[in-house]
Structure 1
Amino acid sequence: MIEGLYETHIQVSNLENAVRFYTEVLGLEFAHYDETRPIAFLWIGENKKAMLGLWEQSGSIHKRHFAFSCSKDFILKDANIFLEKNELQSYNFLKNGSNEPMVFAWMPAIALYFDDPDGNQLEFIHILEGKGKPELGVLSYEEWIKINSTHQNEL
């Protein structure tokens, strides 16, 4: 029945600035602006496979969180460089001052976080191969690799 998540919507304080951020910085493709209400739609990834709606809201906005699927190599090698180049601060799930990606062992997945100009929490995420290990919690990618290579040597 359900095959995936098609779209999500967030509130932004300035629609023009938000569209510029998501298209020029993050590379999403502009899809449509609804002139009857302050909303813009953007394509995420391959055209018409997923969509982001940006709703301009006056006053305070409700901040949201969502994640973009990315390659493991991008997250490990290029994400921090990309974010710094675009004057965005990256952080890990623990918000402990480190900007190194972390692994959610229960999935398993590697992720890195940053905020959009309105404070919405965005995430780059990649699902890793293998079985989840919920007992490990959240750990560094290096720890994840070490634990998995140790277990493979035991087989």
Structure 2
Amino acid sequence: MDWKYLQSEPFQLRYVLAAYLVRYCMDVIEIGGCEIPIHVFMDLRNHGSITVVDPRMKTGFTIDNKRQIASVVHINKPIQECHFPYSEFGLVILGMHIQGDLEPVFDLVKRSKVTVIDFSLDFKPSVDQFNQMLQATQRPIRMQFKLDLTGNDFGDLTDSWPARPIRQMYVL
């Protein structure tokens, strides 16, 4: 099964919002993003590096920094197998449903300058993970908003998971 609805314009607006919210971060890490990586929506001239980590990510994608734009790297590993030495970075998790140990993710949230998280309020595993994250990291919610994408055209969803159009976005 695919997540075809993520290709639709209404769902892509989440990326536009997230890209705006991390615009002042020199380095950006996205957990997930195999369907549509966040760098597609970013001005690459404003960042040093953008790293997208997803075990389902296609390997070998890199944009060099030769033209004074951000280096972009896709890593097809679980986030638990990655190490990031950045001190001030933006963290983006759109469609929060992390597999495996959450402690490495909590560590990234604690160290990040800005964390942007989006998930469906109808998907209990995401709600539970977010609540665990808040408790473990003690990061305050700086901003939150609800996105109701109901009634929009999500395209052909044959062989796709159903769209979850009621979204909550948080900025920590």
Quick check: TM above 0.5?
A: no
Q: TM-score, normalised by structure 1?
A: 0.30
Q: TM-score, normalised by structure 2?
A: 0.28
Bigger relative contact order, structure 1 or 2 (CA pairs below 8 A, ≥6 apart): 2
Return the index of the structure with the highest Cα Rg: 1
